Amino acid sequence: MNIGVWACAILAIPFSIIGILFALLKEKGAKFVSGFNSLTETQQQRYDKAYISRDMRNQCFTWANVMVLGALCSYLFNPYLAIVAYIIWLVLFFKEFHLDAEKAFEKYLLK
């Protein structure tokens, strides 16, 4: 077995576990989202916590699927395909990465 398989498979496990936790916790899982837990209680009430938790669940499962596919492709075809999986994961990760908490959660505002 090659290092690409291990590198992808090892990351797929925690992403899956975190996704399952967000699925089980439902809207209570929003308090574990980085940046959201640092907002005051009145600020947190302005946001749809169920939507935040559901979105984090979906992101974690997407990342886990990318890593599983990277591990499979690395095992079946070429070990360097794990690098492609990591690049895809980085693009997906930084697409949702924000330094400002207000900007990060503006799509979750209650209407």
Average pLDDT taken over every residue of the chain = 94
54 versus 34: the higher-pLDDT residue is: 54
| Confidence check: pLDDT of 82 > 90 | yes
* Distance from C-alpha of 74 to C-alpha of 86, rounded to nearest angstrom: 12
Structural domain boundaries in the chain: 3-108
List C-alpha distances in Å: 3 to 27, 51, 71, 81: 37, 36, 9, 11
The partner residues of 109 in beta bridges, in order of sequence, read 47
φ/ψ region of 35 (left if φ > 0, alpha if ψ in -120 to 50, else beta) reads left
**pTM of structure:** 0.91
φ/ψ region of 39 (left if φ > 0, alpha if ψ in -120 to 50, else beta) reads beta
Q: What are the pLDDT digits (tens) for 34-52?
A: 889 888 999 999 999 999 9
